[in-house]
Amino acid sequence: MANIHKSITELVGRTPLLELSGYEKANGLEATVIGKLEYFNPNQSVKDRIALAMIEDAEKSGKLKEGDTVVETTSGNTGIGLAAIAASKGYPFRVYVQDQVSKERFQVIHAFGGKTIKLTEEPVIAKTLAETKGDFIAAIQALKEDVLSKEEHVCFVDQCSNPANPDIHKRTTGPEIWEDTDGEVDILVACVGTGGTISGTGAYLKSKNPNVKVVAVQPGPNSLPSDEKPTPDNEITGVHPFEGVPENLIPSTLDRKIYDEWLAVEALDAYRAAREVALRDGVLIGESSGAALFAATQIAKRPENKGKKIVVIFPDTGLRYLSTNLFND
């Protein structure tokens, strides 16, 4: 029987798990470290999942209608996923993107017919960010109230507050990990951007086994903007702090009760881990994947975790970072 798909929407999910055997050996790890390779999604990132879920949820609710423009703010991968899904469904797409993301992201979104606007190019966003010292949540709210509310035929999907974000991970990512490990998973490690991945995936795994430990990862202090250095030399794209920051800066899509522990990882450590797994296992991953892998490595070295299975979410491919410092010595 022929097995021919009719849309890329049918290709989202069911990404593979891979034990990082070469990396384990090189680092002398006695725990099993397993990567969830989300770059096997059709547009090479975990964000394909939420892009499809948010658009289809908006269609079902009537929020998104034929001829409407899909709108979002993003650090890149959600924009790419939405641009592709919107193109496949016939919707125009517009995205407000952080200025410093890699040029590959802009190029891919344009290839799908999407329109990109840098955050500093939208006066309302630029003004709000300046007045609130970088409060991205406040900037999104200002965009909704002062710009998008005055437009017709737009659908702002808003990944930072959209419940379809963590829900799709609870319905797909979590079950995939549980099934592919035959329920033998001890620890989940994932970076936090909107928090949807770790919240939904962690919730499902804990519903199957409350003893599964969930570890959340945020950038280290040297990899974050500061008054002394508004633009750090090295950042972890798409990963945001959630501990030690005001509550209003934390997306509602992050369930802070779901993780048992959090770790801060510096960009250079994330880069080193990403470079090493490329050399040891032939796996080319991005910055946030490297951060999650570095955190998982520290956890795997703890004596109490000997023999345990650690699943690490690798959100995207390293091909999105070839113009950045990720693979530069």
Residues labelled catalytic:
47, 288
**Taking a C-beta distance cutoff of 8 angstroms, is the pair 85, 55 a contact?**
yes
CA distances from 211 to 70, 86, 109 (A): 40, 39, 40
Rounded distance between C-alpha atoms, residue 272 and residue 301, angstroms = 17
Q: What is the token pair recorded at 73?
A: 């703010």
- 100: closest CA among 192, 238, 197, 226? 238
Residue 329 DSSP class:
-
3 state SS of 102: coil
Residue 156 DSSP class:
E
Residue given tokens 């991953």 in the structure block: 285
**Taking a C-beta distance cutoff of 8 angstroms, is the pair 78, 98 a contact?**
no
Q: How far apart are the first and last CA of the chain?
A: 50
CA distances from 268 to 106, 169, 222, 245, 286 (A): 24, 29, 10, 22, 12
What ranges make up the beta strands (E) of the chain? 17-19, 32-37, 69-74, 93-97, 115-118, 154-156, 187-191, 213-219, 261-265, 309-314
Rounded distance between C-alpha atoms, residue 153 and residue 286, angstroms = 35
Please say whether the dihedral angle defined by the alpha carbons of residues 259, 260, 264 and 268, taken in this order, is positive or negative: negative
